[in-house]
Structure 1
Amino acid sequence: MIYPIVAYGHPVLRKVAEDITPEYPGLQDLIANMWETMYASNGVGLAAPQINRSIRLFVVDSLQIIENLEEDEKKDYPDDKGIKQVFINAHIVDSAGDEWPYNEGCLSIPRVREDVYRPEEVTLRWVDEQFQPHEATFNGVTARVIFHEYDHIDGKLFIDYLKPIKRRLIKGKLDDITKGKVSVDYKMTFYK
């Protein structure tokens, strides 16, 4: 089942999401539907708040980015093999490395892309879909996608990292998204 993506302006995107337990109703179906929704929307990550669920759950498939890099780009991410992973109740343990720019976009903020600076590495503690605990460090593009999706479960958006002048320059686009005046090739839901 493909869920509609929650558009910028919906309050769920600004809430800090809650941890869940293994008894969360329909969790396995929810995860399967999140993967389906993410791929149908041509995304590389999707967080539960983006489908109107304020829970600490997100999925990441950075394999598709790594696999599609040009040969000369692969040298920029030598240690990043990519992942396809479910993250439940994730919490950042540490971040490290120099901040570097990458042109980010978001399914909830269509037609807006901007350079965002983030650290090179993130260490995360989470449980998987069987509620087995994990802790690992990710780098490169994979770390970037994780930081982006993690922000969603903390009520943040990539545009929050932009300088005020950039925010003013995209204000019209953001207002249009909030009003539903945007055309995308995936299902969206707008806050009225």
Structure 2
Amino acid sequence: MAIREILEVPDSRLKTVSTPVEKFDDELKVLVEDMFETMYDANGIGLAAIQVGVPLRVLVIDLQPEDPDAEPEECTAHGGHHHTHQPLKKEPRIFINPEILDPADELNVYQEGCLSVPDIYADVERPKTCRVRWQDLEGQVHEEEMDGLMATCIQHEMDHLEGILFIDHLSRLKRNMALKKLEKLRKAA
């Protein structure tokens, strides 16, 4: 198991269209293990293989409830009192060669962020629900109706497989503002 480096914009590899997985072997299992380890280390909820420089159609997602301490503004929004400290629930999910079958017409807006675009958040509109077909580590095919944050997250991660980042959904003005802000944050660091 190893934590891999996460590519960040403007790394051109993030624009790669990933290729389907054909070999469901040990190498794939190692990649997936490393992706989970890398994602958890970075406090992410989703990661595509291309984000660690591997252009394969592999996603890992875990919508674990976040540690309330991680978002101080969250606490004040709730009056800062009724937060119970539960350990993170790990619900790791693996999606290999995923495809969306029938995205809903109804859209939902979520404030999205991305480990490849650190510390930048923006509202993105996506289909509210979608049916997803994918393979597991053994190559078995699954199908499931996704909604809520899961629908948003899987669509966000599947964009990576086409070389699309969430900021690509923004107007040019908003995208440029986001990238300028990122540059400033990097200089400050």
Per the TM superposition, whether the score is higher than 0.5 is yes
- The SS at the match of 1:59 is strand
Q: TM-score normalised to the size of structure 1?
A: 0.79
Amino acid at match of 2:32: I
Moved more, 160-169 or 134-143: 160-169
Inter-partner Cα distance in structure 2 for 1:89 and 1:95: 17
1:125 to 118, 133, 138: 133
Inter-partner Cα distance in structure 1 for 2:163 and 2:188: 22
Shift of 1:97: 4.3
RMSD between superposed Cα atoms in Å: 2.5
Q: Please tell me whether the aligned partners of residues 24 and 138 of structure 2 are also in contact (alpha carbons under 8 angstroms).
A: no
1:155 to 141, 163, 170: 163
Amino acid at match of 2:53: N
Matches within 5 A, 1:24-103: 26-64=27-65, 84-103=92-111
Bigger radius of gyration among the two: 2
Inter-partner Cα distance in structure 1 for 2:176 and 2:24: 44
Change (3 A) 1:173 1:14: same
Per-residue CA deviations over 1:87-132 (Å, capped at 9, x if unaligned) read 1111111200421211111000012111111111111111011111
Shift of 1:2: 0.3
Amino acid at match of 1:29: V
Inter-partner Cα distance in structure 2 for 1:20 and 1:176: 38
Q: Please tell me whether the aligned partners of residues 94 and 122 of structure 1 are also in contact (alpha carbons under 8 angstroms).
A: yes
Q: TM-score normalised to the size of structure 2?
A: 0.80
Amino acid at match of 1:64: P
Shift of 1:25: 6.2
Q: Please tell me whether the aligned partners of residues 12 and 53 of structure 1 are also in contact (alpha carbons under 8 angstroms).
A: no
Shift of 1:57: 0.2
Please tell me whether residue 110 in structure 1 is matched to residue 111 in structure 2: no
Change (3 A) 1:129 1:181: farther
Percent of aligned positions that are identical: 36
Q: Identify, as 1 or 2, the structure richer in strand.
A: 1
Change (3 A) 1:5 1:158: same
